[in-house]
Amino acid sequence: MEKVIRVVLAGPRGKMGTEALQLIERTEHFELVSAVDYKYGGGTVQQFYPGYQGEAAVYETLEECIENEKFDVLVDLTTPEIGKKHAFLSLKNGIRPVIGTTGFTNDELAELKELASQNGLGCIIAPNFAIGAILMMKFSAMAAKYFKDIEIIELHHDQKLDAPSGTALKTVQMIEEAREYKRQGHPSEVETEKGARGAEMNGMRVHSVRLPGLVAHQQVLFGGDGQLLTVRHDSMNRASFMSGVKVSIEEVMKLSELIYGLENIMD
């Protein structure tokens, strides 16, 4: 029998959190120890997840949860601001974080990497848990070797807090590793309306679309000599992310360093 991994979930009422609760409940070797929710401190998970059969308590803060409970992994599906705070707090307290929130700067990632290694703890920060999205980023990095002119269009639901998405930022990083800086478009190009050309990153342009009805989508456009290559991924629902969350909870237990992006633990 597999060793049971004791999990605390931050953000259990959210769209991702609700899926993650179901994932933890149906996975035999995962145990939901408690949840962190700033609105339900002192309550139980049953209050917002009626089908739930367990007795996991809810803490208002991760600090309180750490003081009162023994657990292995913190899964964070809250907001960019809280996700960052929880990543640092977990590593300082011997807990392995699996962070789904985005918006980490390179300096913050470097600081967390150092902290994880110093403490010999696994830490996974996953800009995107969907396997198809990871492949989309890998294919984009491959294509960037041959097509140097690139525009990224990421499309999300209109409740998203950060732009560009973590996936778009990670795509830029992976493309940067495969292609040198290239300033794109006409050298005398002028934006008559600010923002019309999107954000400039390593010479590429990144456009963020926010609309109700969307979930999480990205297309990477590569322009060439009389040809256009489009690499696209669509998440139609949050269940698309759960196999990545499951693998992350399992793999973080085997690591003693920070991994940024699931492509680094995929065979």
Ligand X SMILES: NC(=O)C1=CN([C@@H]2O[C@H](COP(=O)(O)OP(=O)(O)OC[C@H]3O[C@@H](n4cnc5c(N)ncnc54)[C@H](OP(=O)(O)O)[C@@H]3O)[C@@H](O)[C@H]2O)C=CC1
Ligand Y SMILES: O=C(O)C1=N[C@H](C(=O)O)C[C@H](O)C1
For ligand X, the binding residues (CB under 6 A) are: 10-11, 13-17, 36-39, 77-80, 82, 100-102, 126-129, 241
122 binds, among ligand X, ligand Y, none (CB under 5 to 8 A by kind): none
- Number of residues forming the site for ligand Y (CB under 6 A): 9
Q: Is 160 a catalytic residue?
A: yes
For residue 233, the partner it binds in ligand X, ligand Y, none, with Cβ less than 5 to 8 A by kind, is: none
77 near 125, Cβ under 8 Å? no
Say what angle helices 131-144 and 166-178 make with each other, to 10 degrees. 30
**Binding to ligand Y by residue 34, rule CB under 6 A?**
no
Q: How far is the CB of 234 from ligand Y (least distance, A)?
A: 10
Residue 174 touches which of ligand X, ligand Y, none (CB < 5 to 8 A by kind)? none
- Find the binder of ligand Y among 34, 78, 165, 171 (CB under 6 A): 165
Site for ligand Y in 74-113 (CB under 6 A): 102
Binding-site partner at residue 156 among ligand Y, ligand X, none, CB < 5 to 8 Å by type: ligand Y
167 binds ligand Y (CB under 6 A): yes
Helix or strand holding residue 249 (H, E): helix 242-252
Does a cis peptide bond (omega within 30 degrees of 0) precede residue 187? no
What is d(CA 200, CA 202) in angstroms, rounded to the nearest whole number? Answer: 7
CA distance 86 to 6: 17
Pick from 51, 58, 101: nearest CA to 76: 101
Provide the 10 A C-beta neighbour count for residue 151.
17
- Fill in the amino acid letter for 257: E
Q: Does 156 bind ligand Y (CB under 6 A)?
A: yes
Minimum gap (Å) between residue 211 Cβ and ligand X: 15
Contact 76, 87 (CB under 8 A): yes
Site for ligand Y, rule CB under 6 A:
102, 127-128, 156, 160, 165-167, 216
